Amino acid sequence: MTKTHVNLDGRTVLVTGSPGFIGANLVLRLLKTMKAGTIVSLDNMNDYYDPKLKAYRLELIEKAAETSPVKHVFVRGSIADKALVDGIFDEYAPGVVVNLAAQAGVRYSIDHPEAYIESNLVGFFNILEACRHHPVAHLVYASSSSVYGGNKKVPFSTDDKVDHPVSLYAATKKSNELMAHSYAKLYDIPCTGLRFFTVYGPAGRPDMFYYSATEKLLQGGTIRIFNYGNCLRDFTYIDDIVEGVWRVMQGAPQRRKGEDGLPIPPYALYNIGGGKPENLLDYIAVLQQALVRAGLLPEDYDFNAHRELVAMQPGDVPVTYADSSALETDYGFRPAIGIREGLRRFAEWYEEYKKQA
């Protein structure tokens, strides 16, 4: 797909969902690589998980901003607050928007559906409306591998039908893609959606399996392994995700007119995943090795005594498997960091982080 180059230097970039996991790491990357401009971070710092972790990431951002040529502004609030979003666009006029703010989590959506409607639908609508009335060079937004639901065909391609979500979270992410496509068509807004595949790494989300399993093991608890361990996951290390987002930001879908004189939607959709699904039991074994290597657990720790094989949870799927060939073709990048290196980095970070707690 033909792209229009977007130079980030000197621009104002709005990153919603920073200091969330992906958002914080993206802002750190922008502070390091941009030579001029302003980054506006927006997040409501909710308590879906321990806000101390978001505060920790925000502290890293503020420290990096001290030596960066780029100005950083943090705004505390929700994308579901239309007046706030409009006010940010009025004041800062962002040229590039990366919408990472969302209510995450498949299982949480079963008991708390209202949070997903507010953030993922109403909030994203507010972002689209703001981009409509304050033209931007590129809107990049987070979708999810969860949109593939129980698809049997692997690897998952963005050309596959995704009409059967198995969770409300997945349904909201599919809705985001449809909403963005309609705004791209109606208002000629260059939009790119990114389907992330099981993101992990240092300072990640505590509700993700690798993180919650680590905390349970360190507390002497038992980890529950769903579908009796018969799951395959395309785990994607955070640095690979950020590299993909950073490249995509700089290449917007080209604006063109159709034969009818109306815009051909400047819209694109990509998977960002390693393309190498790992068996969940193998992943856990590598995590255990990393925890022992980092000195978090003793070498003689009885892992078998601290794990339980259980049935599949509602909303879960047995396999995720990304076809990221389009990302490689259009942006020259494919995720490459394996779980052995990624989990080692996580364990080393966790050991240091707990010293500060």
3-state helix/strand/coil string of 240-272 = HHHHHHHHHHCEEECCEECCCCCEECCEEEEEE
In a domain, 14, yes or no: yes
In a domain, 223, yes or no: no
Residues designated as active site: 169
What was the pLDDT predicted at 172? 96
pLDDT along the chain (357 residues), means of 10: 94 97 98 98 91 95 98 97 98 98 86 93 98 97 94 92 92 97 96 97 95 95 88 94 98 94 93 91 95 96 90 79 95 95 98 86
In a domain, 308, yes or no: no
What was the pLDDT predicted at 314? 77
What was the pLDDT predicted at 1? 77
In a domain, 311, yes or no: no
In a domain, 270, yes or no: yes
Number of structural domains found in the chain: 1
In a domain, 94, yes or no: yes
Long-range contacts of 26-33 (CB under 8 A, 24+ apart): 26/98, 26/100, 26/242, 26/245, 26/246, 27/61, 27/72, 28/60, 28/61, 28/64, 29/242, 29/246, 30/70, 30/246, 31/61, 31/64, 31/65, 31/68, 31/70, 31/72, 32/64, 32/68, 33/8, 33/246
In a domain, 345, yes or no: no
In a domain, 25, yes or no: yes
Q: What is the CATH number of the domain that holds 327?
A: 3.40.50.720
| Burial of 105 from C-beta contacts in 10 A (0-12 / 13-18 / 19+) | buried
- Indicate yes or no: pTM above 0.85: yes
Q: What is the C-alpha to C-alpha distance for residues 211 and 237, in angstroms, rounded to an integer?
A: 13
Q: What domain range includes position 70?
A: 3-204+236-274+320-337
Instruction: Please give the helix or strand (H or E) that residue 216 lies within, else none.
Output: helix 209-218
